[in-house]
Structure 1
Amino acid sequence: PWLATHLWDYYDFTRDTSFLRATAYEILRSSARFTVDYLWHKPDGSYTTAPSTSPEHGPVDEGTTFSNAVAREILLDAASAAKVLDLDREERNEWLSVERNLPPYKIGRFGQLMEWPKDVDDPDDHHRHVNHLFGLHPGHTLSPVTTPELAEAARVTLNHRGDGATGWSMGWKLNQWARLHDGDRAYRLFRNLIQDGTLDNLWDNHPPFQIDGNFGGTAGVTEMLLQSHLGFVHLLPALPSAWSEGKVTGLLARGGFEVDIVWSKGILQTVTIHSKSGEHCSLRYGHSTIDFDTKPGSSYSVSWQHDSLKMQ
């Protein structure tokens, strides 16, 4: 199911409906069906993963946060795909119903996002894995925007785990700190990844080598500058103070957009949106938002003026 979510991501970035219909949907649907079949439908009407694990960490258990988060993600993605294609309406409703009845995220006695169904997390546990933060990244069911209390609990968890570990682990934490909109902490993880998790030939050091760290580091830098997983294009959500001046061109955002950004003194100056598929565009910078319709092949310039986003 986790791998299948990448197919939805590809569609979400490109808005290639032909790809979704011909290639991705059957895999997404099959993965959602597998998930529903695998879940334990408990007598109280709720669903949970059983057996389940928090990979490479701890015992086999009922309803670990990681496993339920993956189930939540594939059910939502498959339902979204069915809606786009106007297919399997009854089954889509079932997927959404099952997702609503999965166990909610829980906050433990230390203020952490609980990894297990019982509050047994150890704040001195510095394990390299942070699987239970899947909903924060690469998923989209945890966020400072939509679930601020849970996002704060994820922050506590990341502080417990620490900033060290293997290269790929630092790459994942880099992305998670970016999703928490903490640019300076994300930058620290980026520096740690380069200095302590990268070999002289620029390969990620597991050891001996895992490409996860290389891809994760690149993705993390992108997430610091642009995010689009919540239904809008979020500009400079985790810009670190070390990057007070800069520009970036050609970043891709969900909705079929290519984005160029210029900033100075840590503040957005201008953004240019190149629309590939003619979707409606919603931009966010800080607490300011702007919405506009687009046409395929057209470009749109927006600037930061008097503490708000303005069309040029």
Structure 2
Amino acid sequence: MKDYVLKYKEPAPLCNENQSDIDRSDNQNDGWEKWALPIGNSYMGVMVFGRTVTERWQFTENSFCRPSHGCREGGLNNFVEVYLDFHHDKVENFQRSLSLNDAITRVQYDYEGVTYSRDCFCSYKDKVFVSKISASKKQTLNFTISGVTPFLELENTYEVSGDKTGEVKYISNEMIVKGTMSGYQLVYYGKFHIQNIDGEVITTPEGINIKQATEVIITASLGTNYQLKESIFLEKDNNKKLVDSPLPYEKVEKCMQNSLGYSYDQLLQRHLDDYHTLFNRCELNLYGEDDDISTDDLVATYRSGFNVSQYLEELYFQYGRYLLISSSRKNAYPANLQGTWNRYHNPPWTAGIWHNINVQMNYWPALSTNVKETFDAYLDYFMAYLPRAKEQAKFYVKHNMPENYEGDHVDYGWCIGTGASPYHIGNCGSPLENRVGHSGPGTGAFTAQLFWDLYQFTEDERILKEVTYPILKGMSTFLSYTLIKQDGKYLTKMSASPENRHKGVHHTTVGCGFDQQMTYENFKNTLFLADKLGDDGPIIKKIRNLIDKLDPVQVGASGQIKEYREETYYSEYGDPLHRHISQLVCIHPLTIVNSSTPEYVDAVKRTLDLRGDESTGWAIAHRLNVWARTKDGERSYKILLSLLRKGTLTNLLDTHTPYQIDGNLGGTAGIAEMLLQSHEGYIEVIPAIPGRWHKGEFKGLVARGNFVVDAKWECCEPKEITVSSNKGNRAVIKSNKMPKTILCDDKYVSYSYNNSHLTFETEVGKKYILRY
């Protein structure tokens, strides 16, 4: 694999001369969002600024939240800011970098004849942050480390937000961070251990001074009294959600002591062994060259059109995989709107876990780009909130659909609204206001689709029986109660196309495209699995009777996929240039529209043209995925250009504005869709390849059926395809011509070829090489 490195020749700039970038006064000029480099292990996230006078490390822990009031007040909070005062103001040969291959940041420069370096990483295996700070000459390393728990002085606008306390103490060679957040009765605790190899440690009330050292190792562990469990979501009183949770002191201390049992080199190797297991599975080579250009210059020249770098496109693809690995691992936290990085008191949209597109985009690349384990964090989160989601479904039907309510003893499945956090999930309707908010019941089906894909990609029987089928069946149960009969069709009674407005208000209607399409696909997938498992119970009979009366896709007079049933011409209702393209879920991530429905594909393209390419970063990434599904390589590439030029900051983070991680992860998923698709019952290599990528190769992308696919192509035509079979399924590959050979273990494989589809049997663990 190539080296993929974000690199810069200058430190992250300051907001102003007073280094007041803790204050959210101008987030576009804040080095946190645009310049700092992210590392993380899902237990914590750290933004590394790479400064030489005063270095700044900003720490986030995703359970460290205030109760939210709407989407503007409260949410994830800044855990601690750490400052290292070096006072190196005139340095030479400066460079800072983030290695995606190794998940390590490095700062290196010369000052007064000495080379100083700082390496930082977050170890998932040991649950710690580790930094090695060293000097090339003995006993020339001098600095002070101190910490700040920010936002203690801010008054909360809403009573529900809670008050924050915090303090930083320095004891011997350790910095202790601790405090409370009253909104959830949250207790937080962090410890920073400073190991001075050969110098002097002087502890003061203001910080820890390191004198005349050669090498210093800093290790950090942090946590709260949060525990992911069902009672968190079932308990309605915020003050009682954590009542039975143990305080964080013991687990933080234990984690620290375990890590101190290893040398720095051992901790580093343990980190690399774990990280490489995931990151190294997938490669993309578009034959772009790393010409030793700093990443900010690379982005700038790409924006100008002067140098459309295929290396930057490769780097961006792998950056998304890196961010997902760094922010979503089992037994930790799922990725939120900002992954696992936040320095705000009131982060944008609370840095929540939002379910009407954002969390779905976060996990679109998990399966296709071969980092399935990153989805485990969301799966655990889902299972914890599921009992609450079942309560909400019963409440929704009882109050919003009284004509369909059959009594308290009935199972109504589960439902979820848009907003969520580690402490709550949102409702998908408000009976008091007779509306569904800005997103309809299809939001839950949008979420359930993730679990359908989980089974499709893995074909794991345990996942089928214990996860996917119960989740899809539960969602189908709920959706079946949200329908009313109208004009011979069954339509979602209280329906909304996510976040779109008509005449200034969120438009509540009946049977909009988003809800109807989501309901149809969830019913279809549930019935498929029911047949597979031999389930023909009452709910299966019910949805079998309903599915053909849903009318999920309609084409309007403008040639568009209709967003609302009541529209005739495009944009009669809603914003014509809205960032969401919710009426197009029918083609992605769903499969209602596909190659066998060319008239619908044309309507999708027409809708995309009318909606426009320009939007926020994540919405451009969404458009990229949809265009890739139309198999239009040139238009897909045009959208990718726009994403990198207009939706990407100098540290390659996506901007809404402000920064949101779903744009990065959705962008990576979109590139994967351009390279490999498998949603139509067959594997298709380079289905949306642009002329700029006329030659290239990838390794380790995953197709449904649990096939791992490698491919090489020239002149936009496959030259070699390798299919590794993990389940022994029959392989079906779309191919415009027959291969010269198919080999397995150097033996010829028999196959059939019909209507551009090549079919052959496979065995578990075998590789099949197709050469053209």
Normalized against structure 1, the TM-score is what? 0.92
Distance 1:213 1:108 in 2: 30
Are the counterparts in 2 of residues 167 and 196 from structure 1 also a CA contact under 8 Å? yes
Distance 1:197 1:92 in 2: 44
Name the residue aligned to 2:579.
128
Name the residue aligned to 1:303.
771
| 1:97–1:303 Cα change, 3 Å | farther
1:47 is aligned with what amino acid?
Answer: Y
Shift of 1:24: 2.5
Distance 1:142 1:242 in 2: 27
Q: Which is worse superposed, 56-65 or 93-102?
A: 93-102
Specify the SS of the correspondent of 1:259.
strand
Distance 1:104 1:57 in 2: 19
| 1:71–1:104 Cα change, 3 Å | closer
Q: Which is worse superposed, 114-123 or 131-140?
A: 114-123
**Aligned pairs (5 A) from 1:170-185:** 170-185=620-635
Are the counterparts in 2 of residues 5 and 77 from structure 1 also a CA contact under 8 Å? no
Q: Cα RMSD between the aligned structures? A: 1.6
Are the counterparts in 1 of residues 454 and 468 from structure 2 also a CA contact under 8 Å? no
Higher strand share: 2
Shift of 1:120: 4.1
Q: Deviations 1:9-30 (Å, cap 9, x if unpaired)?
A: 0010000011111222222111
Are the counterparts in 1 of residues 621 and 667 from structure 2 also a CA contact under 8 Å? yes
Q: Which is worse superposed, 286-295 or 30-39?
A: 286-295
1:135 is aligned with what amino acid?
Answer: C
Higher helix share: 1
Q: Which is worse superposed, 196-205 or 176-185?
A: 196-205
Q: Deviations 1:171-228 (Å, cap 9, x if unpaired)?
A: 0100111000100110111111111101112211012122211111001001001111
**Are 2:497 and 1:54 equivalent residues in the alignment?**
yes
Name the residue aligned to 2:710.
260
Name the residue aligned to 1:142.
593
Name the residue aligned to 2:511.
63
Q: Deviations 1:19-57 (Å, cap 9, x if unpaired)?
A: 11122222211111001111113363x211111011111
Specify the SS of the correspondent of 1:52.
coil
Structure 2 unaligned blocks of 5 or more: 1-444, 502-506, 737-754
Q: Specify which of 452, 458, 463 is matched with residue 14 of structure 1.
A: 458
Are the counterparts in 1 of residues 560 and 603 from structure 2 also a CA contact under 8 Å? yes
Are the counterparts in 2 of residues 112 and 157 from structure 1 also a CA contact under 8 Å? yes
Q: Deviations 1:77-105 (Å, cap 9, x if unpaired)?
A: 22222223232456434323322110242
User: Could you say which structure has the greater relative contact order, defined with CA pairs below 8 angstroms and 6 or more residues apart?
Assistant: 1
| 1:281–1:90 Cα change, 3 Å | farther
1:71 is aligned with what amino acid?
Answer: T
**Aligned pairs (5 A) from 1:58-137:** 58=501, 59-88=507-536, 91-118=539-566, 119-122=568-571, 125-137=576-588
Distance 1:132 1:245 in 2: 34
Distance 2:544 2:733 in 1: 27
Q: What is the count of residue pairs matched by the alignment?
A: 302
Larger Rg: 2
**Aligned pairs (5 A) from 1:189-268:** 189-268=639-718
Structure 1 unaligned blocks of 5 or more: 305-312
Distance 2:663 2:634 in 1: 19
Distance 2:509 2:477 in 1: 22
Distance 1:276 1:293 in 2: 13
Are the counterparts in 1 of residues 701 and 709 from structure 2 also a CA contact under 8 Å? yes
Normalized against structure 2, the TM-score is what? 0.38
1:202 is aligned with what amino acid?
Answer: L
1:6 is aligned with what amino acid?
Answer: L
Name the residue aligned to 2:760.
292
Distance 1:3 1:60 in 2: 21
Distance 1:64 1:268 in 2: 40
1:250 is aligned with what amino acid?
Answer: G
Distance 1:68 1:134 in 2: 10
Q: Which is worse superposed, 284-293 or 63-72?
A: 284-293
Distance 2:509 2:560 in 1: 19
Shift of 1:290: 0.4
Distance 1:279 1:89 in 2: 29
Distance 1:281 1:62 in 2: 42
